[in-house]
Amino acid sequence: MRAVDVAIRHDGHDAPTVKGVSLEVGSGEIVGIVGESGSGKTTLAMAVAGLSPYTGAAVDGALEVVGCDLASADRRALKALRADVQVVFQNPHASLDPRQSVRAGFRELRTLQRERTSWISDEELMERVKLSPDLLDRYPHQLSGGQAQRVCIARALLMRPRLLIADEPTSGLDVSVQARVLELLLDVRDRDGIAILFISHDLAVVRLLCDRVYVMRFGEVVESGPTTRVLTEPQDPYTKALIEASPGRHGPGADRLRAVKA
Amino acid sequence: MIVFIARKVGGALVTFAVAITLAFLLSRMSGDPTANILGPFATPDQFESLRERLGLNDPLPVQFLDYLKSAFTADFGESLQYGQSNTQLILERLPNTIVLIVLAMAIAIGIGVPLGVVAATKEGSAWDRLASTVALLGQSMPVFWLGLMLILVFAVNLGLLPAGQDGSLKHVILPAVTLSMYPLAQIARLTRATMAEVLREPYIDAARARGLRSRRIIGVHALRNASMPVVTITALQAGLLLSGAVAVEYVFNYSGFGLLAIQAVEFRDYTLVQAVVAFGVLAFILLNLAVDLLYAVIDPRIRRA
């Protein structure tokens, strides 16, 4: 995906939430967007997923996602795009319909994209995200946070996407569960070659997972580059402040996460 | 699930017992029915022998036990007013009222739910304003006034539909429309509110991100999750319609359960009042039980509770 000089404005607000942002995600790449709450990370991600019309946001600028220009895309192109780009949201329980069992959720996607989803059975898919197939008939309230997030990832994988947008996928989970979910995301990239746009405010997580990173503040990108470079030799004062303030830098969570990557 | 049902049934029995006790006490407090039966020219001796024959001279606890026995054997004795079996009187009138309520409920759901859904998906639009207006009118118009206005317009001025009585589908239309207004308003309002709330849930965004069609998202994911409060209010309203039917049947002189209840109360027909109350309460309780069980079907989270 490529975004050039994108600005996003919300209904009823004069000031744009995101302004003049350009970013790129190459295939098979994990790219992070970091920034504090309200910096426009999620707004940008929703725009990339083609969800802006539903959140009441207007997008200006060129936004090209897996070869599809969002501004001129028709319904058919959007349908293809919705399969090529999958989103994993922050709160796994809230992003699952409480009246739909795991299996019914898969079935719904299979009816939507019959051929695309025929590559794997429900049971194999569960094993792919390291869940027991016994959970297939559970409802969301019978799953733990980590299990629910794996189900969300499984649903995304089922569509064989080229880009996965992960919007703070681990911030609602315990640290130990976080590590397992991140491990799964790395595995998704390594085995399926799916590019990931990873949105987070947690620098420790970004450091481990992302190849490149964009730092956002007040709707603008203040710094970008390879993750190690940006986090060890930050150029922008805001990035420096963010790194200084990062709570996970020396904590047990960070160690745990480092152990996962090793 | 069995514990769930047992608990609900137990609660229902208590409600039933309290309601029929109240019906007994209140009717005894309302005065002496013998005056209505014998008329103004009867002698004191006649009153006395009638009271004796009806069991009204027995101590209250004895009368109460008699009534309890009748309530559980579904044999409520004879009406003081009609000299017919009370149970039979009620069963004769009940079908008319059921038709009336079912039709009113069908109108209320058939218009109220779509109106609420459209209003919620297009918040602030003309449809939304229309729904709010209907809801406001429906809730604030008294039933008897609305009934009279409908009679004036459709029966008197336009001559399209009969103004009263019963017997054919034509006769039910105006009473049913009148009766449907209040639940229609409630259902539309609640559907709009819960739908608007559900549509803001992340799983709706998630469904959109997966590329599901709007119709499926609104019709399946949103409506199913918004349906709980709507089912509740619908069932509660169906129970309340039983009391609403009293006023409507009176206005349209529609010979149903409600009209029978009014006639019983006016005449101090103790036995008939008691029978009517017992039947009414039973119907209300059965409705509520049905709703509780329906919940468990709609929402998998309740089955375990």
A99/B224 CB distance under 8 A: yes
The low-confidence residues of chain A, meaning pLDDT below 70, are 1, 3, 5, 10-15, 53, 55-56, 247-262
Nearest CA to CA, how far is A213 from chain B (Å)? Answer: 24
Cβ-based contacts of A91 with chain B (< 8 Å): 202
B203/A113 CB distance under 8 A: no
B206/A86 CB distance under 8 A: no
When CB atoms are compared, the residue of A83, A95, A139 closest to B203 is A95
Cβ-based contacts of B298 with chain A (< 8 Å): 99
Using the Cβ of A141 and the Cβ atoms of chain B, whether some distance falls under 8 Å is answered with yes
Residue pair A31/A210 in contact (Cβ under 8 Å)? The answer is: yes
Confidence band, pLDDT 50/70/90 cuts, at residue B305: very low
What is the structure's pLDDT at A254? 52
B→A interface, C-beta within 8 Å: 201-203, 205-212, 221, 224-225, 298-301
* pLDDT over 70 at B146, yes or no: yes
Cβ-based contacts of B212 with chain A (< 8 Å): 108, 112
What is the structure's pLDDT at B303? 61
A98/B205 CB distance under 8 A: no
Q: B165-200, pLDDT tens digit by residue?
A: 766 777 888 999 999 999 999 999 999 999 988 888
What is the structure's pLDDT at B83? 78
Using the Cβ of A22 and the Cβ atoms of chain B, whether some distance falls under 8 Å is answered with no
B209/A86 CB distance under 8 A: yes
What is the structure's pLDDT at B104? 92
B210/A155 CB distance under 8 A: yes
Cβ partners under 8 Å of residue B37, min gap 6? B50, B80, B81
Q: B120-130, pLDDT tens digit by residue?
A: 888 778 888 88
- Over residues B75-98, mean pLDDT: 83
When CB atoms are compared, the residue of B202, B211, B225 closest to A89 is B202
When CB atoms are compared, the residue of B201, B211, B301 closest to A79 is B211
- One DSSP character per residue, A90-135 reads S-TTTTS-TT--HHHHHHHHHHHSTTTTTTS-HHHHHHHTT--GGG
When CB atoms are compared, the residue of B209, B224, B225 closest to A87 is B209
Q: Which of A42, A95, A101, A117 should one mutate to test binding to chain B, selecting the residue with the greatest count of B CBs within 10 A?
A: A95
A87/B206 CB distance under 8 A: yes
Residue of A nearest to B297 (CA): A99
Q: Which of A78, A82, A99 should one mutate to test binding to chain B, selecting the residue with the greatest count of B CBs within 10 A?
A: A99
Nearest CA to CA, how far is B11 from chain A (Å)? Answer: 28
What is the structure's pLDDT at A176? 82
B202/A141 CB distance under 8 A: no
Does the structure's ipTM exceed the value 0.85? Answer: no
* pLDDT over 60 at B251, yes or no: yes
Q: B286-296, pLDDT tens digit by residue?
A: 887 887 777 77
What is the structure's pLDDT at A260? 54
Q: Which of B121, B197, B204, B210 should one mutate to test binding to chain A, selecting the residue with the greatest count of A CBs within 10 A?
A: B210
Q: Which of B203, B204, B221 should one mutate to test binding to chain A, selecting the residue with the greatest count of A CBs within 10 A?
A: B203
Cβ-based contacts of A89 with chain B (< 8 Å): 202, 205-206
Cβ-based contacts of A95 with chain B (< 8 Å): 202-203, 205-206
When CB atoms are compared, the residue of B203, B211, B301 closest to A97 is B203
